């Protein structure tokens, strides 16, 4: 019996295993619980992280359970650098998978970014390709049955491998990147059954339907969720759904100590500026190590307090900050005014810096209701060789990301998103923060709350 689980959505615990029994406790979505007793449809549970938790009975449908060991169908390949790499991505489009499978020579799989494939040795590349061949051979019957189904539905172009995997495994736990209703049919034409929020954990059955009558959200997933004692069975907009990656004891974002163990910060991803002026700022015990003397740029002693954008650009370019400022000053009309007058930089200024070093870039905005992001979606960009040059809110006193706090103690600031580990409907992010010229780790939620106050940035190609 599984001894831990997570609450799917707001749930009332009962004193006895019956729907009409007295309520003993109410728990929110995502709350970790320990299972004390299993009576089939009812489980006796207790919140894990509260010292004064009141145990009670919950319906099985109200709980999300860790996936059992050995359920991974797609084998992974261990690379020489000890990194584990999936042979077949669940997000791979079916049409791309078929095209690769049927192509002579079976070269690089389309779903693996070239920036990653190029770093894999020839022998390891062959191991990945062999692993994919073995996958098709060992699951050929189930694969062909599913493939025939999506062809009958006319969905071979938009279907992905994850649909097949979810169907084979009997469903998948998922979450939504923004609040939306569950509908009785794959359409918005009828009233919704109830709302799913970003903290809720829905169960996707693996069933998919396409509705071309919808103007925007044409692909729909069949989902279920018990919320406040009411079972919601219906359809959800597929574009808003992400996989729920069950937290472990070592990755759980609610355990503060895990923040120190997710990334090896002794090995920086990008080269940080290493000027003597930065060492001088540290020795002078200035609040920020980006508060440097720009004498070697302007010929006058002046401490600049708004160089976060310049530090980030120099880091992406892999150069020191003083040579960078001199080169930028000589090539961009507004640069000297910005440097001389202690001015902050806007998006146009940042673009001029990146263009100076021929770093391809494009605007990238986060607006939750229009262009939502998620840990998985951002990780895909990073795996393609991108870095995100993003505006965030920080505390003026220590440069730490401020989350939702927005007052006179906070200010706008540029950072670079370097790496990310999805966990549950949250995760861990690794950023370069020029305030103290170092890498820092935050939970994804805290990070995206800090981003959300500005939402503007650039995708920078570092492939």
Whether residue 134 sits in one domain with residue 181: no
Whether residue 223 sits in one domain with residue 147: no
Structural domain boundaries, residue 89: 76-163
pLDDT digit string, tens, across residues 50-108: 888 999 999 999 999 998 765 555 656 666 666 666 666 777 788 888 888 777 666 78
Q: What is the CATH classification number for the domain harbouring 27?
A: 2.30.30.40
Structure tokens at 1: 């019996």
pLDDT digit string, tens, across residues 134-154: 777 888 888 888 889 889 888
Predicted local confidence at residue 2, as pLDDT: 54
Whether residue 101 sits in one domain with residue 224: no
For residue 69, tell me if it sits in a domain: no
Predicted local confidence at residue 1, as pLDDT: 42
Question: Domain ends where: 32, 64, 96?
Answer: 64
Whether residue 271 sits in one domain with residue 203: no
348 Cβ contact partners less than 8 Å away, ≥ 6 residues apart: none
262 Cβ contact partners less than 8 Å away, ≥ 6 residues apart: 251, 421, 428, 430, 441
Which residues lie across from 209 on neighbouring strands? 220
Whether residue 302 sits in one domain with residue 179: no
For residue 460, tell me if it sits in a domain: yes
C-alpha 97 chain-centroid distance: 24
Question: Domain ends where: 189, 213, 243?
Answer: 243
Distance CA 296, CA 327 (A): 12
Our count of domains for the chain comes to 4
Structure tokens at 176: 């939504």
Under 8 Å between Cβ of 378 and 387: no
Structure tokens at 324: 């960078």
For residue 377, tell me if it sits in a domain: yes
Which residues lie across from 210 on neighbouring strands? 219
Whether residue 453 sits in one domain with residue 391: yes
Predicted local confidence at residue 416, as pLDDT: 98
Under 8 Å between Cβ of 28 and 199: yes
C-alpha 114 chain-centroid distance: 21
At CA 417, angle to CA 364 and CA 293, rounded to 5? 105
- Cβ-count burial 41-60 (b if 16+ within 10 Å, e if not): ebbbbbbeeeeebebbbbbe
- Give the other-Cβ count within 10 Å of 17's Cβ: 17
Using 50 as the pLDDT threshold, list the residues of the chain that sit under it.
Answer: 1
Whether residue 401 sits in one domain with residue 309: yes
Whether residue 159 sits in one domain with residue 185: no
The DSSP letter of residue 424 is B
Under 8 Å between Cβ of 426 and 201: no
For residue 59, tell me if it sits in a domain: yes
Question: Domain ends where: 183, 208, 243?
Answer: 243
Distance CA 423, CA 392 (A): 22
Whether residue 236 sits in one domain with residue 94: no
For residue 71, tell me if it sits in a domain: no
Whether residue 377 sits in one domain with residue 282: yes
Distance CA 225, CA 233 (A): 7
User: CA Rg, the chain, in Å?
Assistant: 25
Distance CA 366, CA 30 (A): 24
Structure tokens at 108: 């690089």
Predicted local confidence at residue 110, as pLDDT: 76
Structure tokens at 456: 């503007």
Predicted local confidence at residue 441, as pLDDT: 98
DSSP secondary structure of 123-138: HHHHHHHHHHHHHHHH
């Amino acid at each position: 019996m599984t001894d831990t689980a997570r609450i799917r959505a707001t749930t009332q615990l009962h004193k006895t295993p019956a729907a009409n029994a007295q309520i003993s406790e109410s728990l929110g979505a995502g709350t970790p619980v320990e299972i004390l007793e299993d009576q089939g449809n009812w489980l006796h549970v207790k919140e894990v992280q509260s010292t004064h938790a009141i145990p009670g009975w919950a319906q099985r449908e109200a709980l999300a359970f860790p996936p059992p060991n050995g359920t991974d169908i797609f084998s992974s390949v261990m690379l020489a650098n000890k990194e584990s790499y999936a042979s077949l991505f669940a997000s791979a489009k079916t049409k791309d998978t078929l095209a690769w499978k049927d192509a002579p020579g079976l070269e690089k799989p389309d779903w693996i970014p070239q920036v990653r494939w190029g770093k894999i040795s020839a022998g390891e590349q062959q191991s990945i390709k062999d692993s994919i061949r073995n996958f098709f051979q060992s699951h050929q019957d189930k694969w062909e049955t599913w493939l025939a189904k999506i062809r009958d539905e006319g969905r071979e172009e938009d279907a992905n491998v994850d649909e097949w995997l979810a169907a084979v495994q009997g469903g998948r736990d998922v979450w939504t990147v923004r609040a939306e209703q569950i509908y009785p049919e794959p359409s918005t034409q009828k009233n919704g059954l109830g709302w799913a929020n970003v903290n809720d954990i829905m169960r996707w059955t693996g069933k998919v339907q396409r509705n071309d009558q919808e103007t925007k959200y044409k692909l729909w997933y069949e989902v279920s969720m018990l919320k406040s004692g009411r079972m919601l069975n219906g359809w959800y907009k597929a574009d808003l759904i992400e996989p729920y990656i069950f937290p472990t004891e070592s990755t759980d974002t609610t355990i503060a100590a895990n923040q120190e163990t997710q990334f090896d910060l002794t090995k920086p991803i990008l080269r940080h500026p290493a000027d003597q002026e930065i060492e001088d700022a540290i020795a002078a015990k200035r609040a920020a190590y980006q508060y440097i003397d720009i004498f070697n740029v302007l010929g006058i002693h002046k401490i600049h307090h708004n160089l976060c954008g310049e530090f980030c650009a120099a880091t992406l370019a892999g150069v020191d900050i003083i040579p960078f400022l001199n080169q930028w000053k000589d090539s961009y009309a507004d640069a000297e005014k910005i440097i001389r007058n202690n001015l902050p930089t806007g998006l146009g200024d940042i673009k001029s810096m990146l263009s100076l070093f021929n770093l391809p870039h494009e605007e990238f905005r986060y607006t939750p209701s229009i262009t939502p992001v998620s840990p998985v979606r951002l990780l895909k960009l990073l795996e393609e060789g991108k870095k995100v040059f993003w505006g965030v809110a920080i505390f003026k006193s220590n440069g730490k990301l401020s989350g939702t706090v927005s007052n006179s103690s906070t200010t706008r600031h540029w950072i670079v998103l370097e790496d990310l580990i999805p966990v549950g409907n949250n995760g861990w992010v690794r950023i370069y923060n020029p305030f103290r010229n170092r890498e820092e780790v935050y939970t994804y939620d805290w990070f995206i709350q800090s981003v959300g106050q500005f939402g503007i940035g650039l995708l920078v190609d570092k492939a």
